[in-house]
């Protein structure tokens, strides 16, 4: 498969894994967000992912992927995952095999002001939950969408540097500035396991969730809730399938959605597919 096809497959495998506590999977929907929305989002993202594979700039390809992803009734299904996958696809298409952290780091460090503008335009297409920007960067609040582009140009700030502003509070931004460490760690763990790829993905999702608090949960519900979810994920891992199922049901009931961890799994699946360490 091509890198773009592997990226779409990674999105499909990620949402197919179950149980995936707090997130949509093939057995659980959330209010207003269904399994089929994620399937449609993965299909819709295709043109943007193929653009990244074909050498388009990261910002342009990302906006195109998000615009296509959002053309289903669930709105934002895979925004964060695409922010990981677009530079990964570009790195895979441009570089030598196997895909490495160094290759994708070069891609993100080479982003430009135009890429930052494309990133902000992507927020016009989907309703994305984010926290407040740093006090000295209120003009770069991503919730402004394309209205923030004049500030981007005035500051002459590249996309990598935009994401660096939030890398202490957002795991996806931290991947960009930290060599995609957790993405590649997830890929390594997926390669170690056996069985269907979607089942491996569900297992690694729970392991990641039990290791570090999910930043989307922290942003929405506070750090105490995020830490509680982390502890409960670890307990679920130790308790077995019935405990995992109960944990999954409780997060859905409480409206707690560790979506950033799911995004990392999509990135990890892509890396593992590209390396031939996971196959379907």
- Give dist(CA 55, CA 149) in Å, integer: 23
**Residue-by-residue DSSP string for 49-78:** HHHHHTT--HHHHHHHHHHHHT-STT--SS
Would you say 87 and 58 are in contact if contact means Cβ atoms under 8 Å apart? yes
Nearest alpha-carbon partner for 13 in 172, 202, 185: 202
How far apart CA 19 and CA 72 sit, in angstroms, is: 24
Give me the phi and psi of 17, to 5 degrees please. -65, 140
- Determine the angle formed by the axes of helices 101-109 and 79-94, rounding to 10 degrees: 110
Q: Which residues, in sequence order, are CB contacts of 248 under 8 Å at separation 6+? A: 19, 20, 21, 22, 28
**pLDDT at residue 166, rounded to an integer:** 85
Q: What is residue 98's predicted lDDT score, i.e. its pLDDT?
A: 84
Q: Can you give the pTM of this predicted structure?
A: 0.96
Q: How confident is the prediction along the chain (280 residues), in pLDDT tens digits per residue?
A: 999 999 999 999 999 999 999 999 999 999 899 999 999 999 999 999 999 999 999 999 999 999 999 999 988 999 999 999 999 999 999 976 789 999 999 999 999 999 999 999 999 999 999 888 888 889 999 999 999 999 999 999 999 999 999 878 899 999 999 999 999 999 999 999 999 999 999 999 999 999 999 999 999 999 999 999 999 999 999 998 999 999 998 998 899 999 999 999 999 999 999 999 998 8
Cα 169 from Cα 208, distance rounded (Å): 17
Paired tokens of 177: 């500035």
Q: Using CA atoms, how far apart are residues 61 and 135, in angstroms rounded to an integer?
A: 29
| DSSP H helices in the chain | 3-16, 35-44, 46-53, 58-69, 79-94, 101-109, 113-122, 149-155, 159-164, 171-177, 181-192, 197-211, 215-221, 223-239, 241-254, 259-274
Cα distance between residue 217 and residue 154, in whole Å: 33
SS3 33: strand
Distance CA 132, CA 97 (A): 39
Residue ranges of the domains in the chain? 3-112+169-274
List Cα–Cα distances, 254 to 229, 231, 268, in angstroms.
11, 16, 27
**DSSP assigned state of 102:** H
Superfamily, domain 3-112+169-274? Triphosphoribosyl-dephospho-CoA protein (1.10.4200.10)
- Report the distance separating Cα 197 and Cα 253, nearest Å: 27
Token look-up 């209120």 returns 138
CA distance 17 to 19: 6
* C-alpha dihedral sign at 231, 77, 103, 165: negative
């Amino acid at each position: 498969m091509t890198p773009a096809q592997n990226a779409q497959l990674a999105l499909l495998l990620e949402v197919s894994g179950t149980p995936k506590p707090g997130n949509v999977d093939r057995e659980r929907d959330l209010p207003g967000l269904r399994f089929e929305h994620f399937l449609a989002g993965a299909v819709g993202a295709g043109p943007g992912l193929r653009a990244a594979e074909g050498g388009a700039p990261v910002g342009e390809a990302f906006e195109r992927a998000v615009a296509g992803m959002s053309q289903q009734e669930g709105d934002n299904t895979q925004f964060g995952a695409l922010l990981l996958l677009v530079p990964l696809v570009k790195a895979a298409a441009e570089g030598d095999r196997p895909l490495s952290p160094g290759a994708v780091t070069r891609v993100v460090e080479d982003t430009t002001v135009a890429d930052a503008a494309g990133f902000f335009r992507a927020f016009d297409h989907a309703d994305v939950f984010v926290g407040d920007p740093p006090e000295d960067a209120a003009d770069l609040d991503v919730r402004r969408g394309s209205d923030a582009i004049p500030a981007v140009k005035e500051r002459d700030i590249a996309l990598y540097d935009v994401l660096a502003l939030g890398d202490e509070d957002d795991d996806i931004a931290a991947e960009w500035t930290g060599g995609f460490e957790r993405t590649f760690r997830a890929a390594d763990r997926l390669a170690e396991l056996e069985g269907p790829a979607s089942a491996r993905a569900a297992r690694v999702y729970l392991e990641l969730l039990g290791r570090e608090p999910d930043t989307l949960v922290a942003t929405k519900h506070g750090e105490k809730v995020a830490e509680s979810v982390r502890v409960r994920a670890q307990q679920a891992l130790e308790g077995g399938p019935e405990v995992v199922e109960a944990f999954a049901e409780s997060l859905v009931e409480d409206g707690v959605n560790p979506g950033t961890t799911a995004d990392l799994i999509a990135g990890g699946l892509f890396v593992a597919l590209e390396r031939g360490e996971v196959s379907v």
